[in-house]
Chain A
Amino acid sequence: DAGVIQSPRHEVTEMGQEVTLRCKPISGHNSLFWYRQTMMRGLELLIYFNNNVPIDDSGMPEDRFSAKMPNASFSTLKIQPSEPRDSAVYFCASSPGLDEQYFGPGTRLTVT
């Protein structure tokens, strides 16, 4: 199994632009999580889905952030418009719904 796949691995964009991060979870996993990591705030949960349904989005910073999971094998995290303070590493993780979460390699986002 290829593990959790995230794309792009690096993204550099200008303030105000739309950014879309993508995640392909491990096949058969029914839970998907989006985390954000910065030096100041560490690892923070943004949102998670069970069986493609958003369960808890209380960690989404503001309305500029949105996430979708149209099917069991794909999810997106969109930021529109992006701001410099959104610069961070964004991780996607999936879980078979029991104990372990498997993290992807992350997307490093830089907003200038």
Chain B
Amino acid sequence: DAKTTQPTSMDCAEGRAANLPCNHSTISGNEYVYWYRQIHSQGPQYIIHGLKNNETNEMASLIITEDRKSSTLILPHATLRDTAVYYCIVRVAHQAGTALIFGKGTTLSVSS
């Protein structure tokens, strides 16, 4: 699986959009970009994933550049409960139960 690079930490004001970047310059054509987050003392939680088109769900939006070498996770209106470590992971999807390789992630701190 390709490796990813994320900033160590970011701050965001409550109610504002949080934009979390991820670089994955060695991504292969069949690898998807996944985002998970881990709130303190809880297990990781799936957020969203995509291949090359932008994706949106009830939690977030995922913007992938045209060359697929980087992506941005957008939390449109951050709340205090969004304070967590956010992990960007690339892997081949739809393989029977392939594992996730977690990096260090970005610690997002949302403050009022």
Chain B residues within 8 Å of A, Cβ to Cβ: 32, 34, 38, 42-46, 49, 87, 93-94, 96-97, 99-104
Contact = CB atoms under 8 A, between A and B. Distances in A.
A95 B42 CA distance: 18
Contacts of A98: 93-94
A102 B46 contact: yes
A103 B104 CA distance: 18
Nearest to B49: A99
B97 A106 contact: no
Interface in A41-76: 42-45, 48-50, 55-56
Contact of B100 (A45, A49, A97): A45
Interface string A16-27: 000000000000
A43 B97 contact: no
A30 interface: yes
B44 A103 contact: yes
Contact of A106 (B34, B43, B46, B104): B43
